[in-house]
Amino acid sequence: METRIVPQTEMAAFVGELMKTARVMAPVRRDGVGYFEWLESADQLDATCVVPRSSPKAALLPRCETLFGWRLEKGEQRIVPPPEPIPQILFGLHPCDVRAIATLDAVFASDPSPDRLYLARRAVTTVIGRGSLADPATAFFRELGVDPMDNGGCDLFLAPLDPDRHVLEIISDKGRALLPACERFPKADDRALALLADLRKSSAAKTEANPGLEQLAAKLAGMFESDLWSRIHEHCAGCGVCAFLCPTCHCFDIQEEQRGDRGARVRVWDTCQFGLFTRHASGHNPRTSQKERLRQRIMHKFSYGIEKFKVPFCVGCGRCVGCCPANNDLRAILRTIRETPSE
């Protein structure tokens, strides 16, 4: 694998080069808070942000996506196909966010109905991960077996050596396509690579090698009627912060938008935390309270997801932990589940 050394001071210039080839989503900082956003200029980049508050899923599953449009022409309805996706680079993703993309891939590529729009966008997406030597206080990806120095799933990977330097690993064909933007950097020497190998070793040692997720899924499968759910939902406010910031939550609603003689069918982010999510056309709602809704969230992430796709629908990024208005800590919920005696 080809490797280069990228000085921290050159990061914005690197992104500037990348922006010549595709649109780039990267961490920016506004009022102290990190967000993943489409860059307008390279100097917006915040190269210190580890896990930005908004997740990069918006690049693959936009908050609002046109499925198709229509317009009336001389009384005839014409269908307008959605715009072709344009090449895009996701820059500076923490390995947990890269793992989240693998989760989305599993869902949207699955038979019998692979999602054409998602896959088209995914095909023109290049993922540049960035490792991290310090874990955010609210993160728990190591518990779920995600190593923050792992380059799996990336096309390029920036592995930190120290606060001033990263080793740039050029991994896939998509990554190699960006070689012209990488060639300005010197090749990594053996000393740097040896240091990186050491850092990787100690990071792997701190990461749970066997997170026991199948056991968790099996246990949860028997906990549908547990008393636990009556307790943990009480202070949940029922908002969508956890789901909308989550890099793996992918549920959507489909709505019709119309303006005059034209319109579109769009899909928009939705969440099992909203009462409207399961309300039937008849008015009946099978999930009447936050108890059923929060249970669904936990079950989907740690039981159904694992059963069906062999991966948890949670990567331990900690966004929901840090931003929950009621501090309903997912880590604590998982602990309680693990400590609850099996029935």
Partner 1 sequence: MTERADLRTIAAKLLADGTVDVLIGWQPGSSPLSAAPLILHAGSAGSEPGQAGPEALVFDARCAMNLVNLLHKFKGKKVAIVVKGCDARALAGLVQERQFDRNDLVVLGAPCAGVISPRALARALNSDSPDSATLKNDRIHAVCGGVETVVPLSDALDPGCRRCAMRNPQIADWLVADPVAQTDASEPAENVEEAWRMTRAERWRKFRQEMARCILCHACRQVCPACYCGECFADQSRPRLAGRTDDPADAMFFHLLRWTHLAGRCTGCGACERACPMGVDLRLYNDFLREFARTEYGYEAGADAQAPPLIGGFKPDDPNRFTL
Footprint on this chain of partner 1 (rule: CB under 8 A): 29-35, 48, 50-51, 53-54, 62-64, 134, 136-138, 231, 234-235, 237-241, 243-245, 253, 255, 257, 266, 268-270, 274-276, 279, 281, 283, 321-323, 325-329, 331-332, 335-336, 339
Q: Least separation, in Å, of the C-beta of 198 and partner 1?
A: 19
Q: Least separation, in Å, of the C-beta of 111 and partner 1?
A: 29
Rounded distance, CA 285 to CA 278, Å? Answer: 6
Rounded distance, CA 88 to CA 36, Å? Answer: 13
Q: What angle do CA 270, 129, 3 make, to 5 degrees?
A: 165
Nearer to partner 1, 9 or 255 (CB): 255
Query: 3-state SS of 282-298?
Result: CCCCCCCCHHHHHHHHH
Nearer to partner 1, 41 or 327 (CB): 327
Nearer to partner 1, 73 or 234 (CB): 234
* CA Rg value for the chain: 22
Q: Least separation, in Å, of the C-beta of 271 and partner 1?
A: 8
Nearer to partner 1, 187 or 235 (CB): 235
120 within 8 A of 109, measured Cβ to Cβ? no
Is the sign of the CA dihedral 21, 174, 67, 78 positive or negative? positive
Q: Least separation, in Å, of the C-beta of 105 and partner 1?
A: 23
Beta carbons within 10 angstroms of residue 338's beta carbon = 11
Nearer to partner 1, 3 or 132 (CB): 132
Q: Least separation, in Å, of the C-beta of 233 and partner 1?
A: 9
Q: What angle do CA 237, 56, 278 make, to 5 degrees?
A: 40
Q: How far apart are the first and last CA of the chain?
A: 50
Q: Least separation, in Å, of the C-beta of 270 and partner 1?
A: 8
167 within 8 A of 158, measured Cβ to Cβ? yes
Identify which of 135, 282, 300 has the alpha carbon closest to the alpha carbon of residue 224: 300
Q: Angle of helix 95-108 relative to helix 116-123, nearest 10 degrees?
A: 140
Nearer to partner 1, 209 or 281 (CB): 281
Nearer to partner 1, 176 or 231 (CB): 231
- DSSP sequence for 76-108: EEEEEPPPPP--EEEEEE-HHHHHHHHHHHHHH
Nearer to partner 1, 210 or 282 (CB): 282
Q: Least separation, in Å, of the C-beta of 146 and partner 1?
A: 17
Q: Least separation, in Å, of the C-beta of 17 and partner 1?
A: 26
Nearer to partner 1, 152 or 325 (CB): 325
Q: Least separation, in Å, of the C-beta of 115 and partner 1?
A: 19
Identify which of 338, 17, 42, 33 has the alpha carbon closest to the alpha carbon of residue 185: 17
Identify which of 315, 311, 294 has the alpha carbon closest to the alpha carbon of residue 303: 311
Strand order in the sheet with 262-269: 76-80, 64-73, 262-269, 252-259
